[in-house]
Structure formats: C-alpha cells, structure tokens
Structure 1
C-alpha cells in the first residue's frame, strides 16, 4: 500500500491537493517515501498563485520533483483577484490546448529541437477553492528564471519571439484543421482585461494609479502627459473594443497572454541563453498575435534596446511564423500577412502601452516593496483600499521612482518612435 509523508511548507495544502500529489507519484510507480514541500521564488515572482516545489524522496535515494501552482482559498481574496477565472484559464491550457498543440507538432514529425516546448502537466485539481496544477520542474532540465529586474537582451528576446511565432502558427493550424474543437477551447478562455471593465473597484484602482503617475510625472513634456492621461482608466474600455475586433477574426489565435520576464525560463550555456520555455497561461485568451508581441516588447525590454532591434524583432517574428506554417502546408502571406501584422501592431499600440504603464509600477519594485496580494486579508473593500494605498508610487524610494519614470517614459517614447500611438 502506498505510504507518503509530507514535510516542510505544507500549511496551505488541502486534502484534494495532497491526494493529487500522491496519485501522481503512484502513477509513476512510487509507493513509499517522503515528500518535502518548499516555497518557490520570492515576492514579486508570482502574483496570483502560491508556487511550491514537491520533492519526493524514496527510501532507496530516488528523487522526483514537481512544481505546484496552488490557489489561495480566502473567499474575498479570490473574488478580488479573479482566482477562479485565472486558474480556469490555465487549467484549460494545460489540460486541453497545449496537448492539442503538441499533438499537431508530433503528427507533422517536427523534430524535438524545432518543437515549441511546453511544461509537462501531471494533473490538476479543479475543485474550488482548492485548485492545483502540478507541473514538470523545468529546473531539472537546466532551465532557470532570469533576474526580473533586468531587461531581456536581444538574444533572449529573439528566442522568445521565435517561440511565440511557432506557438501562434500551431494555433492557426489548430483553428483551420479542427475549427469546432478550437472554438470550444477558445470560448472557455476568459479575457481578464475585458472582464474587469465591469468592476467599479478596478476603475477606482486605475484612476488612482493614473493620478499618482501624473503627479510623479509633473515635469515631463505635454506630449508625454497627454499619452499618460487615460492610459490606465481606458484599459478596460479599449480591451472590450479589441475583444470585439478579435472575436471571429481569422487572424486571432490563442495567446500566451502574459509575456513578461518571469514567464519565460531559459537554459544558459556560458552565461548566454540558448533555449527557452514559456510558462504561466493564466491570462491566455483568444486574441491577435500583435498583443503577445507588444506585451513582450514593452514589459521585458528597455527603450535603448527597442530602438536598435524593434523592427528586427517584428521581421524575425513573421519570418519564423512563415517557416513554421510551411511545416503544416500553410503560408504566412495567406494566414497572417506582414502588412496585416504591421496594421495590428498599430491597432494594439494604445492598449499595450496602457498595460505597460499600469504594470510598470509593479515590475520595477524590489521584493521588499512588492504587494503580495496572495497574503492579503479582510473583506473585499478593505483589500481593494489596501492595494490602492500600497500601489501609490509616491511611497516608493527615490531610486525606484527613478526606474519607474525611466520605464514609463521609455514605453511612451518607443510607441511614438514606431507609430504605435499618435504624438
């Protein structure tokens, strides 16, 4: 009979989650041993889930590791953070969408070196509020998370752009070959940015954040101030407008949805990135590929690097998209022509600038200044008030404010430079 003992950081684990861990180990042929649970990462590395490493240690010395994404259980916290929606999205991706994309790659005989790699999913708990996703520990394959405080280099961005192009091509093939299944899966993915438009708390949060930024940017040029006005308060309305454009569009794909530094792991050789893996699909939804590209560019790179390489990245994306589609008998100039990509980059510029501005004050914070929303307590109204208060940019230390200003102005200047928003 199987017998496992749990040690370490186990306080938040509930019976359904423990049972899943045990069942996965049994399916892999393990029957006895110790399971050590460790916290993964630090504040600022993950905002929605508790991330744990499960380390199985058999009596004979055999070990096996898994990563678990554990949902918070506090009801008011779940309501404020839209935990059910975010975990639903990721479970749909790991249970349905990514296996289908892998199936497409295998059927076409794509080599392991050329495949888009997705973390293996060992199992999920869908029961609320105990959602859990058990995943492959990619550290065991030599992949690691880079320093989120440093912008990605050109080499790293090219790796991610290549994977995004291949990933999007798979979505196009899926939509063309099995349209009814594609529609069924994509309809189960919910657009968070459009949903929050119905939340008065979200408008309050965005309005306060925008006003704080305008006060902090009191000395910038009028054109920068004009770009900032409405940048956060218009996120939800613009997202809804874009959703109307995307729904039923032949150019839409299933997006990764949250292309920022911590959602890519890299394998390094001599300190240089040679491979990457995309992780975290909580914001996945159906949308235009330009959304993933601009989200990556605005949230993971700095202005100086963008000035040198922006057009190169866009051209490279479309080149790889065409190469990848060719493997499945398609051509990019029919599926998603380059002039359409360029038009959609301009169409999505305002929304992606707004998201970049909104996320900037979160992404520049050192761990000590990060708001760990997963640990917040109280009723929903109090948590919203606390979040708004803690997001006040004026409370940051001088060095962080300098970084925040530089990041926001860089996003706006990049958008001006490449015609993504009007001057």
Structure 2
C-alpha cells in the first residue's frame, strides 16, 4: 500500500539521494507495516535515470507499549549502527581478521529517534527463513558462525584494547539507563504462564515447567555468571531477525543479522541458546555438542587471526560451563519466541501498540498444537540433558 511520507522523511531521503549522486530522482514508498513487531516498516525506492536505491525505513510507533520502553530500544539500535559496528569492524580489520566485517544492513541515517533508514536486503537477494518451521542444519550452522564472529570481536578487543572496549560498552549501557526492570519481570512471568498453558495435559512437561519456575529467583546469578567472559550479544534471535542469501543450488551462503534493538553485554550463550532452542529442531537438539564445537571452532579461528590465544581467552571447556549454567535463559525465551514465530499475520494486531506488549501471547493461537509440540521437544531435551 502506497504511503504519504512526512516532510522529515522526505528531507532525509533527499539527502541520501544527494549523497549517492542521484539527480532528478523520484521517491516511491509503500507500507509493509505488518512485518514489524516494534516498528512500522516502509519500503522506499529512490529512482533516477541511471540507478535506483532500495531502502527500508523503520518507524518508531508513536504510542509505544505500556510495559516496553520503545525509545530505549531505538537508542540501542541507533548506537549499534552509528558506533558499535564501526568500532568492532575497524578493530577486527586492524587486528588481521580475514573477514572483518559483520554482515549487517548498510545504515543510511535517521531522524532523531523517530525513524532509521537501512538498505533493503530483499532487493539484494536476501530472504527470510519460514519462521513457522525449525531451521535445517545449514542455516543453523551459518547463523552460529556469524554469532561466533560477533563474539570473537568482543573477546579480542577486550583483550587487546580493554579501555576502548569498556568505553564501547559504557555507551551501550547509557542507552539503557532509563530501562524499566519490570520489562524483564513481565517477560519471565508471561513466559511461564504460556509454558504452563501449553503443557497442562502432559504430566512430565508440567513437572519440568515447575522446575523452570523454581529457577526464577536464581536467574540473577545466572546472568552474572563468569562476567569476565561476557561479550556484546545480539539478544534478538527471532528467525525473522536473520536474512539469508543463497547460491544457484539453493544453499545458504551468507546471513545478515538484523534488528539490533536488544543488544547488550552478556554471556555468549545468551545468543547461542536463544537461537538454537528457538530455531532448532528436535533432531538437532540432540546433536547440540556438534553445534557448540562448530561455534567454538569458528570463534577460535577468528581469535587466532586477530593474534589472540583462544585457549587463554575462552576455551571450549569454558563454553561448556556457560552452556550448562546459562542455557536455561534460552528456554524462557523459547517459550515466547516460538509462539510469536507461529502466529498467523492476522493474529499480530497493531492495534495492540500503546497497550500491553505481552497481551498478544495470551490469545488462543491458530497454530496451538504446533506450538505445544515444539515446546515439548525443547522441554524434554533440556530435562534429559540436565539443563533444567
């Protein structure tokens, strides 16, 4: 659906076109509002006689949510694009990493905290995975390698340039200085409610949910576990936040991580467990050690290229300890994000904006049986591996 751009939108787009040396250009805009959970999305094409530029404009909802500070997450995303990625990429390049650039969308600018402009990856051949089904091994492996790249940059910079890394993280934390801790309390509360509802007819799974509930008071120490090994993490590993490019045979060859509104300092396992438990299949769960090794091999390769000793910085045994202690965080996340992934588009109502962000998780879902099956698979795996 075509949309009427506001003057501030047009002003920034005109500047972008000028920077790209585009003359006598036209602006075409259409709404893709249904694709954003915390944003309204407008697809923009700048056209002139010799070229065109395809862009995504992410608009911050004016009303926000009563239990989610949208301004905070927009500050975080702006900081990541304007500061963090440049610092990390430049450090990795200077340190000798062979592929030193994180694969994120090109950033073109913003207007205050109202909207940001990025390149449209779909027009470059990138595609989303079908969020309603678990990813296959090729896609899981590609994403874990990209997370290993992100984490290795943090580890290496913290080792070689500790003051600069501390400044980078301090800037990120300033973006969150007005963050309401109640957001996280609400998150864990609704995650448990959703899990109990899904497992009420399965005695074994219900017992596991009780154990999960009993871990809530101890989560603070989980988040603080081995804090010296914490790195910059994505922390928004929903399948819609990663886009893939394929070769002529249909094999994924590149992944771009998008939506950086939740980025923070935490254990690397926050990304690994969140992603793996949300996007993996029952069959892949029981091969998790192979995926941990794949991640660590990529991490070690990157660290070695940056003249760092992986056995000194983050050996595989330490990764195993983090997984054993912290992967439970990914279980709570999976309870909600798998449900979100299985929503039909008609079930995601933008009329909810301005209300309770978590209300959408309490609706009777069209794909409820599929959700129950997926959650049972995760719970039984975590219990069998003594992770709950």
Decide: shared fold, TM above 0.5: yes
Q: How far off is 1:391 after superposition?
A: 2.6
Please report how far the alpha carbon of residue 118 of structure 1 lies from its aligned counterpart in structure 2 after TM superposition.
2.4
Name the CA shift for 1:140/1:19 in 2 (closer, same or farther; >3 Å).
same
Pairwise CA RMSD of aligned residues? 2.7
- Of 11, 30, 45, which aligns to 1:19? 11
Residue 28 of structure 1 pairs with residue 20 of structure 2: yes
1:396 to 334, 347, 365: 365
**What's 1:314 paired with?**
292
Q: Distance in 2 between matches of 1:90 and 1:368?
A: 27
**Structure 2: segments with no counterpart, 5+ residues:** none
Specify whether residues 110 and 205 from structure 1 end up closer, same or farther in structure 2 by C-alpha distance, changes over 3 A only: closer
1:219-260 CA-to-partner distances (Å, cap 9, x unmatched) read 2124x213223757976x6554444446xx321110011122
Contact 1:52 1:68 in 2 (8 A): yes
Are 1:117 and 2:117 an aligned pair? Answer: no
2:169 matched residue in structure 1 = 186
Show CA shifts across 1:105-140 (max 9, x none).
33245445x753222211123x24x2x221122223
Q: How far did residue 151 of structure 1 move?
A: 1.1
Q: After superposition, what is the alpha-carbon deviation per residue over 1:167-223, rounded to whole angstroms, capped at 9, x for unaligned?
A: 11111122223322322221333598x955435xx756754663454244222124x
Q: Normalised by the size of structure 2, how large is the TM-score?
A: 0.89
In the alignment, the residues of structure 2 paired with residue 104 and residue 188 of structure 1 have an alpha-carbon distance, to the nearest angstrom, of 17
Helix, strand or coil: the match of 1:8?
Answer: coil
CA contact (8 A) 1:357 1:411 kept: no
Residues 365, 356 of structure 1: alpha-carbon distance in 2 compared, 3 angstrom cutoff: same
What SS does the aligned partner of 1:265 have? strand
Q: Is the 8 A contact 1:255 1:285 kept in 2?
A: yes
Match of 2:192 among 189, 210, 221: 210
Task: Call closer, same or farther: CA 1:149–1:215 in 2, change over 3 Å.
Answer: closer
**Structure 1's 315 and 9: CA in aligned 2 closer, same or farther, altered over 3 A?**
same
Question: What corresponds to 2:45 in structure 1?
Answer: 55
Alpha-carbon distance in structure 2 between the residues aligned to 1:104 and 1:187? 17
Q: Kindly report which structure 2 residues correspond to 1:241-256, keeping only aligned pairs within 5 A, or say none.
A: 241-245=221-225, 249-256=227-234
2:339 corresponds to 1:361? yes
Instruction: Give, in whole Å, the separation in 2 of the partners of 1:391 and 1:118.
Output: 29
Distance in 2 between residues matched to 1:410 and 1:167, nearest whole Å: 29
Over residues 299-342 of structure 1, what are the superposed CA-to-partner deviations in whole Å (9 max), with x where a residue is unaligned?
Answer: 111212222x3111100111111111011111211111111111
Name which of 9, 16, 22 aligns with 2:3.
9
The alpha-carbon distance between structure 1 residues 19 and 174, as it changes in their structure 2 partners (threshold 3 A), is farther
Query: Is the 8 Å Cα contact of residues 266 and 274 (structure 1) preserved in structure 2?
Result: yes
- Cα distance change, pair 377–343 in 1 and its aligned pair in 2 (3 A): closer
CA contact (8 A) 2:61 2:353 kept: no
| 1:66 alignment partner, SS class | strand
Q: Distance in 2 between matches of 1:27 and 1:146?
A: 33
Are the counterparts in 2 of residues 89 and 188 from structure 1 also a CA contact under 8 Å? Answer: no
Q: Is the 8 A contact 1:298 1:356 kept in 2?
A: yes
Q: Which residue is 1:352 aligned to? A: 330
Q: Distance in 2 between matches of 1:185 and 1:406?
A: 41
For residues 274-300 of structure 1, the C-alpha deviation after alignment (integer angstroms, 9 at most, x for no partner) is 221111111100011111100110111
CA deviation vs aligned residue, 1:29-55 (integer Å, no higher than 9, x gap) = 124321111234x74x43111122210
Kindly indicate whether the alpha-carbon contact (under 8 Å) linking 1:238 and 1:351 is maintained by their aligned counterparts in 2: no
> Where do 5+ consecutive residues of structure 1 fail to align?
1-6
State the match for 2:375 in structure 1: 408
Q: What are the residue-to-residue correspondences of 1:242-321 with 2, within 5 Å?
A: 242-245=222-225, 249-269=227-247, 270-307=249-286, 309-321=287-299
SS of the residue corresponding to residue 134 of structure 1 reads: strand
Whole-angstrom CA distance in 2 between matches of 1:163 and 1:123 = 24
Shift in alpha-carbon separation, 1:154–1:209, aligned structure 2, 3 A: closer
The aligned residue for residue 210 of structure 2 is 229
Rounded Cα–Cα distance in structure 2 between residues aligned with 1:338 and 1:323 = 13
TM-score by length of 1: 0.82
Give the match's secondary structure for 1:67: strand
Counterpart Cα distance in 1 of 2:62 and 2:38: 12
Cα distance in structure 2, aligned partners of 1:244 and 1:205 = 18
State whether residues 97 and 306 of structure 2, in contact with CA within 8 Å, keep that contact through their aligned partners in structure 1.
no
Aligned partners of 2:313 and 2:96: how far apart in 1? Answer: 21
The equivalent of 1:64 in structure 2 is 53
Structure-2 change in CA distance of 1:391 and 1:290 (3 Å): closer
1:376 aligns with 2:363: no
